[in-house]
Chain A
Amino acid sequence: MNFFKRAWLNLTAKKGRSILLILVTSAIMLFVLAGLLIRNAADTATSNAKKSVGATVTLSANREAAFKKMRSSTSTKKSSKPKLTTSPVKLSDAKKIAKLSNVSSYSATVSTSANAKGFDAISTSSSSSTGGGMGMKGGMSSSSSSGDIAISGVTSTASTSAFEEKSSKITKGRGITTSDEGTNNVVIESELAKEDSLSVGDTIKLKATTGSKKTYTMKIVGIYKASSSTSTQQGPGATDPSNSVYTSYTFANTVKGSKYKNTADSVTSNVSDPAKVSSVKTAGKKLINTSKYSLSTNDSSYQTVKASMDNVKSFADKIVWLVAIAGTIILALIVILMIRERRYEIGVLLSLGEARWKIVAQFFVEMVMVLIVSIVIAGAGGKFVGNKLGQQLVSQQTTTATTSSTSTQTQGGQPGGSGGAPSGNSKPSGNMGGGGAPDDSSSSSTSSTKQAELDVSVTVLDLVELGGFGLAIMFLSIMLASGGILRLQPKKVLID
């Protein structure tokens, strides 16, 4: 083991050269570590995204099947107008899906509308009191008549995408929760509250436009403010988004009519692990009548984050390998030069009868000693470099992802989109029509705004991994350079 001592003596005696070696190795290790940290952070961000972003499975009426049915009935009864008939989702079916593994919770959504009574709904120049939902034009909404107040019946406002994405915020009072089931509690928009001087605790009256056309007295429990972007998403013929109110889905069903009891337009189940969303959908399909209902999945937030992180990870991998290969070449060249400079020393060792492998081992030990110091330096600086580089990569990736996602949404067009005129469903058409409900079930539209953040931190495991890379780099560079040692003839060096 004398070569350990020789290695130490050499490094301490030739301080200048050792410091230069440490600096070069530190630079290589710093970039390898930055790459490793970004890669690991991207892994962590992806797994965190699984937990935080989640995915949803939405149970709703099978429109495709309903359209087919409508077409077939039209062809047989040519005299009558085509009529789209869809079935509302039974809550009992939704509860079966909610019991599946990986389903953490569910929320029901019911959309309808009613007329304001005793207070004024906000009217806009583009809004007409007779406007039906865009999607239901052409007779499909048949006997539907819409009111000027869009009612969004929900399980809880907190679980709606508008509130999740913070495009709507409770400013006074509270939101709708599961405890509001069976009550006439309502959350109204701040502009509507201002217009009619309403505040939390006041009551308003709504007159149903369908069914019994009863008048209901509602108690305001909260006031929310919709962001300007939401309120401007107004299609032609739509009521003003400020006329959108939130109630419990049970109340919305009551307004729609008694036959809608224990139903919903759609029920969204939250899947805790987005990777399992397909298996939940498959299992869920076995529990429902697929000719009436359809199950749609939405893990776009997760996919957006995952795609972004995959790109970051792939780039980090490239950094690691490129730096590792370049580092090996650089260090191999340095060691080759070092060996040329130290050929007399090698010659003396050979003349003393030292085994060649021990001389190679001495060089390796010297480089490992340099590596240890370099890892400490890289460990100190790696977090900083990794953070800077990682955030730069993430911001680029997120911009790219958001841009592509936005362009995809734009291509979809707006008809029937959120903020449009309420459909005033007299038929169980769910929320497929005008979509008067304020952003209630359209969580997919805002998924791309979720951003993944890289938490770059140096752990012992990272340093161990870096050490492994460093050792491999040192070993390869010494092996590449050791040809000089293996070929060296002591006579030529010492005597010739």
Chain B
Amino acid sequence: MLKTNDLGYWYDRQENSLFEHVDLEFKSGTSYAIVGQSGSGKTTFLSLLAGLDKPRAGQIELNGQPINKIGLTNYRKSHVAIVFQSYNLFNYMSPLNNLLTAMAVTESSHKGDKAFAADMLRKLGLTDEQMKKNVQKLSGGQQQRVAIARTMCCDAKLVVADEPTGNLDEENTKFMIDQFQKIAHEQNKCVIIVTHESDVAKACDHSYRLAKHEFALES
């Protein structure tokens, strides 16, 4: 589904590149973890996969088509859903409106379907009362559930997550891992999670380690 060809990225000088000549392939219905030390460049790699930045070398292909040809805005809109460590929800909206807004922006097939969005939130453990409250009144775990629900409501086949369990307790972390697995296996999506938590990495189908500017398959 998603392929990186000779991918490279650096900030100021190529000699100080975060990674170079990266050739990886990510398949649908599979979850991947990317682990590595802080500052190794795993989040930067994720941002390239998410279409939030452009690589300095090489390219990323989605189903054989370079994503820069699709257009990064269009790519983010139709093909990728992102989960952040700090949730990044619309803080002036309720969980339900957050989902409806995301569905409208991404022109999801369920666009405007309030019942579908509510059902998705219910599945992630939010009550009807909670889903109408302002998101800022929810706990961190609940906000991350809303963020997960947002990716599930959209039609994107690629889900990328940057440290999604970084701010969560053990129970919520376990719940999140289960949800990502469901997204991969039940919705047949490709899930790529950047994490430094070994539990999360172990739960994923495959795990890559970024170290010394290179990716290595761990499992």
- Contacting A at CB under 8 A, from B116-147, are 134
In the complex with contacts A352-B102, A352-B105, A13-B93 CB distance below 8 A: yes
- Contacting B at CB under 8 A, from A311-349, are 344-345, 347-349
- Check: B82 CB closer than 8 A to any chain A CB: yes
6 smallest CB-CB distances across A and B, nearest first, come from: A353-B77, A13-B92, A353-B76, A2-B104, A491-B52, A352-B105
In the complex with contacts A494-B84, A495-B47, A353-B92 CB distance below 8 A: no
- Check: A354 CB closer than 8 A to any chain B CB: yes
- Contacting A at CB under 8 A, from B29-61, are 43, 46-47, 50, 52-53
- Rounded to whole Å, the gap between the CB of B117 and the closest CB of chain A is 14
| Nearest chain B residue, comparing its CB with the CB of A493 | B88
Q: Which residues of A contact B109 (CB under 8 A)?
A: none
| Nearest chain A residue, comparing its CB with the CB of B47 | A491
- Check: B175 CB closer than 8 A to any chain A CB: no
| Nearest chain A residue, comparing its CB with the CB of B81 | A352
Q: List 20 A-B contacts (CB under 8 A).
A: A5-B101, A10-B92, A13-B134, A344-B88, A347-B88, A348-B89, A350-B73, A351-B50, A351-B88, A352-B76, A352-B105, A353-B78, A354-B73, A354-B77, A355-B73, A490-B52, A491-B53, A494-B84, A494-B88, A495-B43
Q: Which residues of A contact B92 (CB under 8 A)?
A: 9-10, 13-14, 345
- Check: B90 CB closer than 8 A to any chain A CB: yes
| Nearest chain A residue, comparing its CB with the CB of B150 | A352
- Check: A261 CB closer than 8 A to any chain B CB: no
Q: Which residues of A contact B10 (CB under 8 A)?
A: none
- Check: A6 CB closer than 8 A to any chain B CB: yes
**Most chain A CB neighbours (cut-off 10 Å) among B76, B88, B89:** B88
Q: Which residues of A contact B76 (CB under 8 A)?
A: 350-353
In the complex with contacts A491-B53, A494-B52, A345-B104 CB distance below 8 A: no
**Most chain A CB neighbours (cut-off 10 Å) among B74, B82, B102, B105:** B105
A348 touches B88 (CB 8 A): yes
Q: How far is the CA of A252 from the CA of B64 in the complex (A)?
A: 112
B105 touches A345 (CB 8 A): no
Q: Which residues of A contact B84 (CB under 8 A)?
A: 494-495
- Contacting B at CB under 8 A, from A99-122, are none
A345 touches B53 (CB 8 A): no
Q: Which residues of B contact A13 (CB under 8 A)?
A: 92-93, 134
- Check: B75 CB closer than 8 A to any chain A CB: yes
B74 touches A353 (CB 8 A): yes
**Most chain B CB neighbours (cut-off 10 Å) among A350, A353, A494:** A353
**A345-B90, A495-B162 known, 16 other contacts, Cβ within 8 Å:** A5-B104, A348-B89, A351-B50, A351-B52, A351-B76, A351-B82, A351-B88, A352-B77, A353-B73, A353-B105, A353-B106, A354-B77, A355-B73, A491-B47, A494-B52, A494-B82
Q: How far is the CA of A261 from the CA of B91 in the complex (A)?
A: 96
- Check: B207 CB closer than 8 A to any chain A CB: no
- Convert A463-496 into 0s and 1s, putting 1 for each residue whose CB lies closer than 8 angstroms to a CB of B: 0000000000000000000000000011100110
Q: How far is the CA of A463 from the CA of B43 in the complex (A)?
A: 53
- Convert B87-113 into 0s and 1s, putting 1 for each residue whose CB lies closer than 8 angstroms to a CB of A: 011111100010001101110000000
| Nearest chain B residue, comparing its CB with the CB of A358 | B105
Q: How far is the CA of A194 from the CA of B46 in the complex (A)?
A: 110
Q: How far is the CA of A350 from the CA of B97 in the complex (A)?
A: 17
A349 touches B105 (CB 8 A): yes
In the complex with contacts A351-B88, A353-B106, A495-B93 CB distance below 8 A: no
- Rounded to whole Å, the gap between the CB of B148 and the closest CB of chain A is 15
| Nearest chain A residue, comparing its CB with the CB of B82 | A351
- Rounded to whole Å, the gap between the CB of B96 and the closest CB of chain A is 11
| Nearest chain B residue, comparing its CB with the CB of A11 | B92
- Rounded to whole Å, the gap between the CB of A8 and the closest CB of chain B is 11
Q: Which residues of A contact B134 (CB under 8 A)?
A: 13
Q: Which residues of B contact A354 (CB under 8 A)?
A: 73, 77, 105
Q: How far is the CA of A495 from the CA of B84 in the complex (A)?
A: 8
- Pick from A9, A14, A353, A355: contact of B97, CB under 8 Å: A9
- Pick from B77, B90, B104: contact of A348, CB under 8 Å: B90
| Nearest chain B residue, comparing its CB with the CB of A345 | B90
Q: How far is the CA of A6 from the CA of B93 in the complex (A)?
A: 9
- Pick from A5, A348, A353: contact of B75, CB under 8 Å: A353
| Nearest chain B residue, comparing its CB with the CB of A490 | B52
Q: How far is the CA of A347 from the CA of B87 in the complex (A)?
A: 12
Q: How far is the CA of A9 from the CA of B90 in the complex (A)?
A: 10
Q: Which residues of A contact B88 (CB under 8 A)?
A: 344, 347-348, 351, 494
B47 touches A2 (CB 8 A): no
- Rounded to whole Å, the gap between the CB of B136 and the closest CB of chain A is 10
| Nearest chain A residue, comparing its CB with the CB of B104 | A2
| Nearest chain B residue, comparing its CB with the CB of A10 | B92
Q: How far is the CA of A352 from the CA of B98 in the complex (A)?
A: 12
Q: How far is the CA of A405 from the CA of B127 in the complex (A)?
A: 82
| Nearest chain B residue, comparing its CB with the CB of A348 | B88
Q: How far is the CA of A344 from the CA of B50 in the complex (A)?
A: 17
Q: Which residues of A contact B104 (CB under 8 A)?
A: 2, 5
Q: Which residues of A contact B106 (CB under 8 A)?
A: 352-353
Q: Which residues of A contact B105 (CB under 8 A)?
A: 2, 349, 352-354
Q: How far is the CA of A88 from the CA of B91 in the complex (A)?
A: 91
Q: Which residues of B contact A349 (CB under 8 A)?
A: 105
Q: How far is the CA of A491 from the CA of B101 in the complex (A)?
A: 20
Q: Which residues of A contact B78 (CB under 8 A)?
A: 353
Q: How far is the CA of A490 from the CA of B76 in the complex (A)?
A: 11
- Rounded to whole Å, the gap between the CB of B162 and the closest CB of chain A is 6
- Convert A1-38 into 0s and 1s, putting 1 for each residue whose CB lies closer than 8 angstroms to a CB of B: 01001100110011000000000000000000000000
Q: How far is the CA of A365 from the CA of B91 in the complex (A)?
A: 19
| Nearest chain A residue, comparing its CB with the CB of B112 | A2
Q: How far is the CA of A354 from the CA of B50 in the complex (A)?
A: 14
